[in-house]
Amino acid sequence: MFITLAGILAVIGSLVGIYYFAMRPETLRIAVGPANSDDLKVVQALTQAFTQARGHVRLRLVQTDGAAASAKALEEGNVDLAIVRGDLDMPKNAQAVAILRKNVAVLWVPPSAKGKGKKSTPKITKIAQLAGHRVGVVGRTQANVNLLKVILQQYGVDLAKVDIVQFPATEAAESIRKETADAYLAAGPVNSKITADAINASTREGKSPKFLAIDSAEAIAQNHPAYEASEIPAGAFGGSPDKPDDEVKTISFSHHIVARKGLSDSTVATFTRQLFAIRQQLLAEFPLAAKIETPDTDKDAALPAHPGAAAFVDGEEKTFLDRYSDYIWWGLMALSALGSAGAWFAGYLKKDERNSNNSLRDRLVEMVGKARRSDSTDELDQMQSEADDILRDTLRCFDAGAIEEGALTAFSIALEQFHNAVADRKALLNSMPQNLQRAGAQFRATGSL
């Protein structure tokens, strides 16, 4: 009984332990950068919101130098999540959780300024005409330069004939006013303030810049799966007249929230659920939070979705019972097996007592025959005393569980037969004269009278 009880308590304790470890808050490390970037600010807001909501998943921010450094941190296993740029080399252990934002490539040419000493330059109306010119790239990341090269190569522009210069996003407007380049490229969300300020800085004498359409966007997307064909809507960058004054074809790429491959499905599903639940709370302070989208869950997606995120998106997220039903089932099976083993072991420990009791029952049956042949009441009284001792031992064994109720019933029948034999023999002996009793005893003892 004690072994079975211990087994039950062990299984219950295991189930409680599983529930505790499954439900306790889990902190995930997320890599994001660079400093003062919009991505960093959004993740900081998410970290605070997750903590205030007391959700199952919490975030610990790990600041990096940029998307490339974040991807490396994830690949090396130093973080659980990372904000990575879709057109960079993706870590092999990365799986998509959400699309943080989508970015568009914007190419434009400032209007020519008039005045004394100003050297006239050929008017640029197409991307193919960028050969022999200087192109400024907003932002220090090499990824933006690589993006420009992809576009130029699609249009057959010799890269050796294009002078590419970069300047920090914080210095973009000032560099454009100083006419450091003939054309400019910026990459960011359609509502990016950095891109809008850079384009407004290109306005001269009331003239708006010329936006260069990437008409071969679909071809670029075919050759480079990280990019998609997209459009910049008219008036996306404000101004009067609208900038641009009409839709402009371009290419886009995404910033992803990715998780390392080995991260638990249930943890990622919970994180994804919390992310989209809290997103609405951040819209007032961070409009970029409205751009957070679900990942592509198709099996042939360029960046495969994490199974946990896919389960949330597709409505196949598992409940606690779904995740741990197998453990509960095996726990119940183990409990049943433990009970059976406990019963067998308890029976094994009482084997000697059971064998001893069987011999006592056999002795009692033997005494039935002996009582029927006895010629002495003293002998019958001795056997009666022995039977009482046997009864006492049998009841003790029954209380201890060494014998079952069926064995006790068989013993009761034997004991009843013994009592009947003793009573009948005493009645017979009491009805016989004393000299006949002594003669009978002598005959059985010596074989002669």
Strands (E), 4-53: 26-32
Which has the closest alpha carbon to 273: 38, 50, 25, 48? 50
In the chain, % helix, strand, coil (3-state, to 5) comes to: 55, 15, 30
CA distance 172 to 197: 8
pLDDT the model gives residue 115: 45
CA distance 424 to 428: 6
Strands, E, within 219-365: which ranges? 228-232, 248-260
**pLDDT, position 207:** 84
pLDDT on residue 121: 52
User: Residue 146 corresponds to which tokens in the numbers above?
Assistant: 């690589």
Per-residue confidence (pLDDT) for residue 162, from 0 to 100:
96
Return the DSSP state at 293.
Answer: B
DSSP assignment of 181-212, as one string? -SEEEEEE-TT-HHHHHHHHHT-BTTBPPEEP
> How many C-beta neighbours within 10 Å does residue 274 have?
19
Give pLDDT, residue 376.
Answer: 82
Distance CA 175, CA 202 (A): 10
Q: Residue 124 gets which letter from DSSP?
A: P
Q: What is the pLDDT of residues 171-214, one digit of tens each?
A: 888 888 888 899 999 999 888 888 999 998 888 777 889 999 99
Residues of the chain below pLDDT 50: 115-118, 120
295 near 124, Cβ under 8 Å?
no
- Site of tokens 């057109």: 87
| Cα end-to-end distance, the chain, whole Å | 62
Query: For residue 44, which of 301, 286, 354, 273 has the smallest C-alpha distance?
Result: 286
Model pLDDT, residue 116: 42
Say if residues 209 and 234 touch (Cβ distance below 8 Å).
no
CA distances from 112 to 186, 203, 259, 411 (A): 20, 10, 47, 119
**Dist CA 8 CA 323 (whole Å):** 22
